Amino acid sequence: MNYLTAVHTDVGLKKTTNQDSICLNIADTSIGKVAFAVLCDGMGGLSKGELASATLIRAFKKWFCTELPLIIESGCDLNIVRNNWSNIITEQNNRISNYGKTIGASLGTTLTVLLIINDTYLIANVGDSRAYELNENIIQITKDHTVVEREIERGRLTLEEAEKDSRRNVLLQCIGASSVVVPDFFEGKVITGSAFLLCTDGFRHEVSTKEIYDSLTPKHLLYEGDIEAKIRKLIDLIKVRKEQDNITAAIIKITA
């Protein structure tokens, strides 16, 4: 498989620091090209959220460079990947939490990480950054770890009510600010011609999923420069609609 990729991040209208962090890598390996993306939305005063998100990004980049090649050589067991990622999340949760205690501050970060290897994708998620699959339509793969999402599941809120609920940004868990973090994992087959979208919550509050899909319909994503331009245009619209948060999105399209 081959990939077209694009990333863009914006500090937004209100904040002076961009606390979102992202990395996206395509690597040639003995089994073909592998795609890897990590997206984090940091939380904390001043630069503390940026520190939390960047710390987690570095840990996953190190795994990608040092551990993934060994996993590929040994047969690409995704259960090993899951265990590796769970260990990274636990270790970094403790590390960020302990650092926060030493400086008397609360800081944390969401996480959405995607690996595409052979014809399979694996995603891990903590918090409310999201992963979508775009093909004939747009499907939200991840589930938000928020109070509002929990209330929807319990039948106490409708989707329409949730969009306006003041608790929509209240997280049930995030890395660095929770005593225990339990990531969700999602696995599936990759379809040539489809695309994956990773985004922070600032990207999706002021636009509908239909608007996202209409702008990023996979069959119209032909060149990397064009894909980035489409993401930038959406982010400009989001800012026109007065989104206050940092805004980040990444696209990975699978090509033949």
Query: DSSP strand E in 44-161: where?
Result: 108-109, 111-117, 120-126, 130-134, 138-140
Under 8 Å between Cβ of 147 and 81: no
**Distance between CA atoms of 246 and 202, rounded to whole angstroms?**
6
What does the pLDDT read at residue 46?
52
Q: How many domains does the chain have?
A: 1
Helix residue ranges, H only, the chain: 48-66, 68-73, 78-103, 147-153, 159-164, 201-204, 209-215, 224-240
The closest of 25, 106, 114, 103 to 78, measured between CA atoms, is 114
- Vertex 170: Cα angle to 37 and 95 (nearest 5): 55
3-state SS, residue 80? helix
3-state SS, residue 40? strand
AA identity, residue 188: G
Tell me the CATH number at 146: 3.60.40.10
What does the pLDDT read at residue 242?
95
What does the pLDDT read at residue 48?
87
Q: pLDDT digit of tens for each residue in the chain (256 aa)?
A: 999 999 999 999 999 899 999 999 999 999 999 999 999 999 976 568 999 999 999 999 999 999 999 999 999 999 999 999 999 999 999 999 999 999 988 899 999 999 999 999 999 999 999 999 999 999 999 999 999 889 888 888 888 787 777 787 789 999 999 999 999 999 999 999 999 999 999 999 999 999 999 999 999 999 999 999 999 999 999 999 999 999 999 999 999 8
**Global pTM exceeds 0.85:** yes
Q: Which range of residues forms the domain containing residue 212? A: 2-255
